[in-house]
């Protein structure tokens, strides 16, 4: 169903000047969206990854996540944790024919196009910015829950510069560090499974998938995708 209106009618862009938001936004244009074209990070783009991780680790939610995983004996130091986050999210692998044409961060947050269809693209900030540029044509959404003090979850239909996405789920209004922490938690403790959580007393499920065709480190797996599971999907 075509919707003549945009999804976002107003966003206070002062929010985007906050350190984690600004660092996150700098990462979104570091990729070629079409699979089959190898990604090659510049020195500046690699530095932008480090900046985002550094700013994210200053936040309460990421400190809480590290503390939990440290207690679970999954990481002995914060630096070990950060290094693993950089590998699992920003490490590249071959989703198409070209070597190293994709990665977890690109797929989940920035979005990709494969075989003429949008894949990934589960972030509201990217959606807002692409819609503002006239590149996203929003069709419809279904709201899953009305939470006064927590982000909404939407199931969306849209096209991105002419490429269609039939169903995509996303948080609306959440911070980059919140989503990054939540997806990282579920990928680390429940890789490739549905991760059942409670957010402010509301049930929430996150689905992650591992990339099984290549590994990093001592056989560790990259993130293939991660997204919030809407009850409408």
- pLDDT exceeds cutoff 60 at 142: no
Say how many C-beta atoms besides its own lie within 10 A of residue 21's C-beta.
18
pLDDT value, residue 141? 57
In this prediction, residue 10 carries a pLDDT of 81
Both tokens assigned to 46: 């690699």
Q: What is the pTM of this model?
A: 0.91
**What is the residue-wise DSSP string for 20-52?**
HHHHHHHHHTSS-SBTTS-----HHHHHHHHHH
Per-residue pLDDT at 143: 55
Domain ranges of the chain: 13-228
- Minimal CA–CA distance to 183: which of 162, 173, 197, 172? 197
Instruction: Taking residues 108-116, report their average pLDDT.
Output: 95
pLDDT tens-digit map of 47-73 = 999 999 999 999 999 999 999 999 999
* Distance between CA atoms of residues 47 and 54, nearest Å: 10
Q: What integer best gives the mean pLDDT of the chain?
A: 90
- Which member of 107, 114, 141, 221 is catalytic? 107
Q: Which of 114, 141, 165, 221 is catalytic?
A: 165
**Helices marked H in 8-153:** 19-28, 43-56, 60-71, 78-90, 104-105, 124-132
Q: Give the residue-averaged pLDDT of 204-214.
A: 95
Please give the pLDDT value at position 146.
46
Express each pLDDT in 162-204 by its tens digit: 999 988 899 999 999 999 999 999 999 999 999 999 887 888 8
Catalytic residue among 37, 40, 70, 122: 122
Does residue 122 carry a catalytic annotation?
Answer: yes
Instruction: Render pLDDT for 24-39 as a digit per residue (tens, 0 to 9).
Output: 999 999 999 888 888 9
């Amino acid at each position: 169903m075509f919707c003549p209106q945009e999804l976002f009618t107003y966003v206070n862009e002062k929010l985007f000047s906050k350190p984690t938001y600004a660092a996150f936004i700098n990462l979104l244009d570091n990729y070629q969206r079409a699979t089959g074209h190898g990604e090659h990070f510049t020195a500046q783009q690699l530095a932008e990854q480090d900046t985002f991780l550094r700013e994210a680790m200053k936040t309460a939610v990421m400190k809480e996540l590290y503390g939990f995983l440290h207690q679970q004996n999954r990481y002995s130091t914060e630096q070990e944790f950060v290094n693993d986050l950089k590998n699992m999210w920003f490490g590249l692998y071959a989703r198409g024919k070209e070597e190293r044409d994709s990665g977890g961060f690109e797929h989940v947050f920035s979005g990709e196009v494969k075989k003429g269809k949008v894949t990934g693209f589960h972030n509201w900030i990217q959606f807002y910015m692409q819609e503002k540029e006239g590149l996203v044509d929003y069709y419809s959404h279904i709201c899953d829950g009305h939470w006064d003090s927590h982000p909404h979850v939407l199931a969306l239909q849209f096209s991105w510069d002419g490429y269609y996405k039939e169903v995509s789920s996303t948080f609306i209004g959440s911070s980059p560090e919140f989503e990054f922490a939540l997806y990282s938690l579920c990928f680390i403790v429940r890789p490739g499974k549905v991760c059942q959580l409670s957010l402010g007393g509301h049930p929430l499920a996150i689905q992650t998938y591992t990339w099984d065709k290549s590994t990093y480190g001592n056989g560790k797996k990259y993130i293939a995708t991660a997204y919030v599971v809407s009850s409408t999907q």
